[in-house]
A and B are shown apart, each in its own frame.
Chain A
Amino acid sequence: MYNPQLNNDGTLKHLLSIEGLPKKTLLQILDTAESFVGVAERDVKKVPLLRGKTVCNIFFENSTRTRTTFEIAAKRLSADVINLNVNTSSQSKGEAILDTINNLIAMHTDMFVVRHNQSGAAHLIAQHVPDNISVVNAGDGRHSHPTQGLLDVFTIRRYKPEMHNLRVALVGDILHSRVARSEIHALTTLGVPEVRVIAPKTLLPNEVEKLGVHVFHDMEAGLKDVDVVMMLRLQNERMSGAMLPSTQEFFKTYGLTPEKLSLAKPDAIVMHPGPMNRGVEIDSRVADSSQAVILPQVTYGIAIRMAAMAILAGGAA
């Protein structure tokens, strides 16, 4: 089957989604990231791998954190970085995007990092660019956010190396979350035996069980004896209509409080992809507790993005 993410020899060509990537490739990215974690602690926080290459961060949708970590990652690889925030509201989609891309190709960009509110935007660009250019999906609509999924499993592996013996719960707005889909794929591919999703019916995609997860609508049952609690952000901006009575009501039922967290294993870690809505999906006492690994996730996100870009730059030559 044709896989736009892989070269004919199975090496990584673009990073568009975790779906379709073999376990070997996921492990290659995670293992490579281990080498980049230490780079930030050196006198010189840079390695020369992408020296002379130009990385273009095109953000058709705002995301300061993701853009910043991609920018830092590219700079720590010694690449030159261009950040473009493109407002799509005034553009007709499709052709206009590719016009933008063509202009950047004409400026000899070597790699595109793309964020878009439409699912499939990164795939469209990957199909369009010449062979020597790689595309990294930095989030497209509800579809995929592969580097977030990778940094989350990297964080889990660093704190809980026995992946084959873990119970992981994803809590909250699964329906609107591209992170959740990427995470579920990464976790199941890497052999985590039990992945749970905990959410109200209105915030779960249809047939979510087909992704290989156990579905819970009740926090108390769902959190029991889990090793990892992955909170998701309530995506207010993606919601239309009345899917929830109120954010206060959501917090009462699905917000992570110390009391609910106490049902998980005592050494369970709490994760959140950010930005957090304190008092909506997570209690400040949990977010600031020693069980929270939310800031290490940000740190590891740079190492994962460096690894992905380094592997892509090496493979595209």
Chain B
Amino acid sequence: MQLPDPENLLATLTTKVSDVIQPNSAIIGIHSGGVWIMERILASLKQDLPHGTLDAALYRDDFSQRGLKDALQPANIPFDVKDKHIILIDDIFYTGRTTRAAINELFDFGRPASITLAVLINRGGAELPIQPQLIGAEIKLNADQRFQLSRNTQGKLTLALEQKQGSDHV
């Protein structure tokens, strides 16, 4: 499979995100890939938006099977979520379970006016009635494949396709 350049997808997504920004918008990245993408989008935008980060690990539905991951990141939302139009950023959209957990966590900070989900890639396979609204690209993967987004030391995004055993998906 010819993999797209994530930098091109980022440019597409940044345009789509900037089109939906309104006076009361705020942007939140989900660790880790979503935070990298949020930082890049914020750097490209011509305005300063309230922004924060979420891990969502404390709200996942598979905690009792998997426990806590080692590198848990604290949530950092330094603004009042109440009545904000939140743009939630993740790297890869798959089952929708991370999004579900992130939405639950967000509501524990307050009641947002709306939540829009923006992702670099929708790889298909939603298991919940949740879909991203803003998408860099739609690329269908099989259940035994996964995309791995990385960031090099210069902050540039790279994408790899991994073949794996089991169903240890995120």
Binding site for A on B (CB under 8 A): 55, 57-59, 63-68, 70-76, 104-105, 107-110
Contacts and interface: CB of A to CB of B under 8 A. Distances in A.
A43 B109 contact: yes
A44 interface: yes
Contact of A38 (B65, B76, B110): B76
Contact of B68 (A34, A39, A43, A310): A310
B75 A44 contact: no
Q: Which of B67, B107, B110 has the most CB of A within 10 A?
A: B67
Given A43-B108, A43-B110, A314 B70 contact: no
Interface string A18-54: 0000000000100110110111001110111100000
A52 B75 CA distance: 24
Contact of A48 (B71, B74, B104): B104
11 contacts: A32-B68, A35-B57, A38-B74, A38-B76, A43-B110, A44-B107, A44-B108, A46-B108, A47-B108, A313-B67, A315-B67
Interface string A302-317: 0000000011011101
Contacts of B68: 32, 49, 310-311, 314
A11 interface: yes
Contacts of A37: 74
A155 to B, nearest CB: 16
Closest 9 CB pairs of A and B: A314-B67, A44-B108, A47-B58, A35-B74, A314-B68, A317-B64, A35-B72, A34-B74, A315-B67
A219 to B, nearest CB: 38
A42 B74 contact: no
Contacts of A47: 58-59, 105, 108
Given A38-B76, A46-B108, A317-B64, 17 more contacts: A11-B67, A31-B71, A31-B72, A34-B72, A35-B55, A35-B73, A35-B74, A39-B58, A42-B109, A43-B108, A47-B58, A48-B104, A310-B58, A310-B68, A314-B63, A314-B64, A314-B68
B76 A49 contact: no
Interface of A: 11, 28, 31-32, 34-35, 37-39, 42-44, 46-49, 310-311, 313-315, 317
Contacts of B104: 48
A32 B59 CA distance: 14
B67 A311 contact: yes
Contacts of A46: 108
A229 B74 CA distance: 29
Contacts of B72: 31-32, 34-35
A35 B66 contact: no
A28 to B, nearest CB: 6
A153 B64 CA distance: 28
B65 A317 contact: yes
Nearest to B107: A44
A49 B74 contact: no
Nearest to A311: B68
Contacts of B66: 314
B144 to A, nearest CB: 24
A35 B59 CA distance: 12
Contacts of A43: 108-110
Contacts of B65: 317
A314 B132 CA distance: 30
Nearest to A43: B110
Contacts of B57: 35
Contacts of A39: 58
B119 to A, nearest CB: 24
B63 A49 contact: yes
A43 B64 CA distance: 25
Contacts of A32: 68, 72
